[in-house]
Amino acid sequence: MKPASSSHAIIDTPATEAHPTSSVIQLNALNKVYQTGDLKVEALKSVSLQVQQNEFVAVMGSSGSGKSTMMNILGCLDKPSGGEYWLNGRNVAALDDAELASIRNHDIGFVFQTFHLLPRLSALQNVALPLRYADVERREAAAKAKAMLEKVGLGQRVNHLPHELSGGQRQRVAVARALINNPKIILADEPTGNLDSKTSLEIMSLLQELHRQGQTIVLITHEAEIAEFAQRLLIMRDGELLNE
């Protein structure tokens, strides 16, 4: 499977130092340790990374490499054990729960492997949900959700329930939902993991087009052919970002 454009991903070294406000995402010597009794597992080991605005970065690694742990921290779903995480010039460690919730709803759009759609809601209602959480009026939220579904090629499927859609269509709904609040960053965690190769190509081509339109994207994957769609490729192994 090849990307739609002729450009190839460039394996790059993770940045180690920069001013906290110079990038959308900056990690400085980030560590994450899980401990159960006497058992201690270092999931992340001194990870440093910069992501600039309008970059499309892929982090590739095998299961257990630490990439999903890093994604959870990037998405403000988990906290590091040490180091610094700066997001849009703000030190995430200094933010309270309400501020973190606001970031998750407004600044970050999530795309997951398993879609995370509510089964009893239509495609339109699923996409509109973040707007409703943000107290957007119902009619306005529906209009914006319909426009976003049209943007991802599902204008004729707005009233379909998730079980009435194919896997690729469900992932398009998930992408539309991720975009609905105009987030600064899209975090895509194995977005093609449950899709066949043809549908995976379609979803990655969609993400690539969103990047061309100015969207910042961080992609987590274990598949080299998926990582090739990104502008920059980083390798994660045993909790460390490597330059290979």
List, in order, residues 6 or more apart from 30 with CB less than 8 Å away: 44, 46, 47, 48, 49, 70, 73, 80, 82, 83, 84, 85
Is the pLDDT reported for residue 19 higher than 90?
no
pLDDT of residue 133: 82
CB atoms inside a 10 Å sphere around CB 234: 26
pLDDT band for 135, please (50, 70, 90 cuts): confident
The whole-number pLDDT of residue 36 equals 87
Q: What is the mean pLDDT of residues 54-65?
A: 94
Share of the chain above pLDDT 70, in %: 90
The per-residue pLDDT for 1 is: 53
Structural domains of the chain in order of their starting residue, each with its CATH number: 52-79+97-242 (3.40.50.300)
Predicted local distance difference test score (pLDDT) of residue 87: 96
pLDDT digits (tens, 9 = 90+) for 158-192: 999 999 999 999 999 999 999 999 999 999 999 99
pLDDT tens-place string over residues 70-126: 999 999 999 999 999 999 999 999 999 999 999 998 899 999 988 899 999 999 999
Retrieve residue 10's tokens: 């460039």
CB count within 10 Å of CB 119 equals 8
Q: Name the pLDDT band for 37 (thresholds 50, 70, 90).
A: confident
Which residues are registered as beta bridge partners of 236? Answer: 241
3-state secondary structure the chain: CCCCCCCCCEECCCCCCCCCCCCCEEEEEEEEEEEECCEEEEEEEEEEEEECCCCEEEEECCCCCCHHHHHHHHCCCCCCCEEEEEECCEEHHHCCHHHHHHHHHHHEEEEECCCCCCCCCCHHHHHHHHHHHCCCCHHHHHHHHHHHHHHCCCCCCCCCCHHHCCHHHHHHHHHHHHHCCCCCEEEEECCCCCCCHHHHHHHHHHHHHHHHCCCEEEEEECCHHHHCCCCEEEEEECCEEECC
pLDDT bucket at 16, cuts 50 / 70 / 90: very low
| CA–CA dist 80, 118 (Å, integer) | 30
Q: What is the pTM of this model?
A: 0.85
Predicted pLDDT of residue 134: 82
The rounded mean pLDDT for the chain is 89
